[in-house]
Chain A
Amino acid sequence: MSAVTAPERTFRRRVADLIKRRETSVVVAIVLVVALATSVNSSFAFGRDGWRNLLLTPSLLVVLAVAQAVVIISKNIDLSVSAVLGLTAYATGEMFTAWPSLPIPVVVVVAIAFGSGLGAVNGLLVSRARVPSLVITLGTLYIFRGLGIAWVGSAHIKPSDVPDSFERIGIASVLGVPVLTMVAIVVVIVAAFVLGSTRPGRELYAIGSNEEAADLYGLRVQRRVFFSFVASGTLAGLAGVMYAARYVMVDSQAGSGLELQSVAGAVVGGVAITGGSGTVIGAALGAVLLTTISRALPIVGVPDFWQQALVGALIIAAIVLDRVLANRHARRLVQEREPNVEPAEVAR
C-alpha cells in the first residue's frame, strides 16, 4: 500500500486551492455581471443610487441565505423563512404603531425574538418528531404565512406609521456603505466564525455528513438541530426588521417567494443540499450573485421575469456541478488509495 503523502502547503498550492473553491467562482461571476451591466449603463455601479442599491438590495437575501445555510449544512431545510420574515416585518411595524414611544432597539430585539420563537417551533417539530424538515417546514411555511394573513388582514404598515429615524436606517449610509449592508456583513462574519471555528458549528457539519455516525459518536444531535432552526428563525427575524426598514410598506404578502431564493443563494454559493459541506460566506456570495443578476437583467435588455427561470437553472446547475465534483473527488481518493485498481462506480 503506497503511503499517502501530504501535499506541501506552499504558497502556490494555497493559491491554487483558493482558486478552485466555489466561493472564488461566485466572486468572479459577480464581478462579470456588474461589469456587463455597467458597460451598458454606467449608473448601475457608479451612479449615486446605483452604488447604493448595488450594496443595499442584496443585504436582505444575504441574511436569509446565511439562515438557510446553517440549516442545510446539517442536512435539513427551512422553507418557512419567508413567512417568518413577513411576520416579524409586520410585527415591527405594529409595535411602532401601537407603542410609538418604544425605543427602536427594543422593537428590533422583540421582533428578532419573535423570529427565534418561530424557529424554535420548527426546531422542536423537526428534532423531536423525527420527520423530515422538508415536510415540517412546508407545513409551517403555510401555517405561519396564513396566521400572518389572519393577523394582518387587509391592513398594511404605511410610512407614516413608522418613526422617521427607523425609516432612515433603511437607506442611510456610513462612509458610502449602507447601514443594512453592514448589518449583513456582521451577520456573515459572526456566522462564519461560529460554524467554522466553534465546536457547535463544526458539529453541525458532522451531523450533516452522517447523522447516525454523529449520534453514535455522542454528539447531541437533537439539541444541535433544534438550535440550528432557532438560529435560522432568528436570522429570518432580523431579515424581517431589515425588510421593514428598507421597504416600509409591509402587507400580508411581504417576503413571498424568498424562501426559494434563499435556498438558491445557499446552493449556488456551494452549500451542498446533501449537507455537511459549504460555507456561509459562500451562501452570502451566492445571494449577492442572484440579486445582482436579477437587477442587471433589465439593464441588459432581458425582461426581468426571466429571473425565476434563471434561479431554477442555477440551482440545478449548482447541484449537478457539486455532484460531478464530488464523484470525481471520490474517484480520485480511491485511486490514491489503490492506484492499480480500476475505480468502480462510486457508491451513491
Chain B
Amino acid sequence: MNSLRRRAAAVTGMSMLLAVGLAACSSGEPEGSESPGPGDSGDEAVSYDITFLPKNLGNPYFDASDNAGKAAVESFGGTYKEVGPTEAAPDAQVTFINTLSQQGVGAIVLSANDPAALCDALAQAKEAGVHVLTFDSDVNPECREMYVAASNTELIGQKQIDIIAEEIGGSGQIAILSASANATNQNAWIEVMKEYLASDYPDIELVEVVYGDDDDQTSYDKTEALLSQYPDLKGIIAPTTVGIAAAARYLSTSEFKGQVMLTGLGTPNDMRDFVKDGTVLEFALWNPKDLGILAAWAAKALIDGDITGAEGETFTAEGLSSEVTEFTIGADGIVVLGDPFVFTADNIDDFDF
C-alpha cells in the first residue's frame, strides 16, 4: 500500500508538471488561432492566415524569402507563420501540412522537397478549405493551385552552364553539387543542364551529380570527396545556396582554389568573401525577398477569391524591388518573378541578402 501511494503521488506530481508545462507551452501561442473552425475562408475574407512552409528551416535563402513574405503579409493585415522541418525531407513536410490542415489556416505557401510525395496531404488540406500554392520548388500541378517560380527553369539551368563553360574555357570535366535528391527545382535545372550540355557544349563532360541535402557539413564533405575522386575536375556547379557556400568554403582553403572553378546559385552575403578572394568569379540568383513577397500577395489573391490559378488571370503585388506590380499567370498555374541576376565582384556590395 505504501509503495502504491508513493507511486500515485509520484505520478500525480508528474502529471501536474506536465500539465503546467503544456499550459506554459501553449500560452505562448502566436497569432493565427482565432478562427473558430477549419478554414472557412468564404465568410472570413479579411483574415489572411498565411503560413510559409519552406524545404527546411535554418536555410539563409528561405530566411530571406520568408521574412520578406512576413513583412508583405503584415502589410496587408494578415497573420504570418513559418513552420518547417530541420531536414529537407518530404515526409517531414507531410506532418506539417497535416497540422496546418487541422489548424485550418487560410493558405499554405510551400517549397516542396518532392513533386509527388506531398500530394495526398495537400489534397486533405484542400478538403479542409486551405489554399495551397507553391513557391521556389513545385509539386505536380494537379496538387496545388499556383506555382510562384523564381525564374524560367530553362534560363536558370542554361545560365549556370554558360558561366562555368566560360570560366573553364569550353572543355573539361565538371560536376554538380545539388541539394536533396528529390528536390523538384534542382532536378528540373539539372535536366536542362544536361540537355544544354549535350546540344551546345559537347566538349564538357559532366562526371557526377552529388547531393549535399541542403546541409552544410554534407555539402562540405561531398566537395572534398569530389576533388579527391576526380583529379582532372575543372568546374563545379552548385545550384543551391547552401551547397555553393559550403563548396566555396572548402575550395578557398584548398590547393585547388583558382584551379577548379565554382559557380551556381548563391546569396551575396554568403558569397561576398569568396568572390573577393577569387574563389568564385560569378554566380547567379534572383532576389529571394521578391520571391517571398510575390508568394504572399499571390496567397492573398487566392484567399480573396480574385484568382483561381487559371491561365491568364492577373493579380497585384506591392513592394518588389523591380517595382513591377501586375503579374499574369501562365500555363499550368505558373507565375514567374523575373530573370536570374549574375553577381560579380563589381556589383556584390550593392546587395544585402
Contacts and interface: CB of A to CB of B under 8 A. Distances in A.
Nearest to A297: B225
A49 B217 contact: no
Nearest to A251: B58
A247 interface: yes
Contact of A299 (B59, B228, B246): B228
Interface residues of B, number: 26
Contacts of B229: 41, 298-299
A249 B216 contact: yes
A348 interface: no
A171 interface: yes
Interface string A35-48: 00000010110011
Given A49-B254, A171-B253, A248-B249, A43 B228 contact: yes
A158 B270 CA distance: 8
A153 B216 CA distance: 16
B228 A41 contact: yes
A200 interface: no
A295 interface: yes
Contacts of A44: 228
Interface string A15-52: 00000000000000000000000000101100111100
Contacts of B59: 154
A159 interface: yes
Interface in B261-284: 270, 273
Contacts of A299: 228-229
B95 interface: no
Nearest to A37: B228
A148 to B, nearest CB: 11
A156 B256 contact: no
B35 to A, nearest CB: 26
B86 interface: yes
Interface in A291-314: 295, 298-299, 304
B116 interface: no
Interface in B217-237: 217, 220, 224-225, 227-229, 231
Interface in A229-252: 247-249, 251-252
B117 interface: no
Nearest to A298: B225
B225 A156 contact: no
Task: Tell me the dominant secondary structure on chain A's binding face.
Answer: helix
Interface residues of A, number: 29
Given A43-B231, A249-B249, A252-B58, A53 B216 contact: no
Contacts of B249: 159, 248-249
A41 B86 contact: no
A149 interface: yes
B348 interface: no
B87 interface: yes
A112 to B, nearest CB: 21
Given A247-B220, A248-B249, A251-B58, A159 B231 contact: no
B63 A154 contact: yes
Contact of A155 (B58, B87, B215): B58
A254 interface: yes
Best-surrounded residue of B216, B220, B227, B254 (most CB of chain A within 10 A): B216
Contacts of B220: 247, 249
A47 B255 CA distance: 9
B58 A249 contact: no
A49 B231 contact: no
Interface in B78-100: 86-87
Contacts of A10: none
B123 interface: no
A198 interface: no
A160 B273 contact: yes
Contact of B256 (A41, A49, A160, A253): A49
Interface in A243-283: 247-249, 251-254
Interface string A47-72: 11110010000000000000000000
Contacts of B58: 152-156, 251-253
Nearest to B219: A249
Best-surrounded residue of A152, A298, A299 (most CB of chain B within 10 A): A298
A249 B242 CA distance: 11
B310 interface: no
Interface in B40-64: 57-60, 63
A10 B57 CA distance: 63
A73 B246 CA distance: 38
B255 A254 contact: no
A160 to B, nearest CB: 7
Contacts of B255: 47-49
Nearest to B208: A298
Contact of A156 (B216, B227, B253): B216
A41 B230 CA distance: 9
Contact of A253 (B86, B225, B231): B86
Nearest to A155: B58
Contacts of A49: 224, 227-228, 254-256
A251 B58 CA distance: 7
B211 to A, nearest CB: 10
Given A43-B228, A298-B225, A254 B273 contact: no
A247 B228 contact: no
A263 B351 CA distance: 46
Interface of A: 41, 43-44, 47-50, 53, 149, 152-156, 158-160, 171, 247-249, 251-254, 295, 298-299, 304
Given A48-B255, A295-B225, A298-B229, 6 more contacts: A41-B231, A156-B216, A249-B249, A295-B228, A298-B225, A304-B225
Leading 4 A-B pairs by shortest Cβ distance: A154-B57, A154-B58, A249-B216, A298-B225
11 contacts: A44-B228, A49-B254, A53-B224, A53-B228, A154-B57, A156-B216, A247-B216, A248-B249, A253-B86, A298-B225, A298-B228
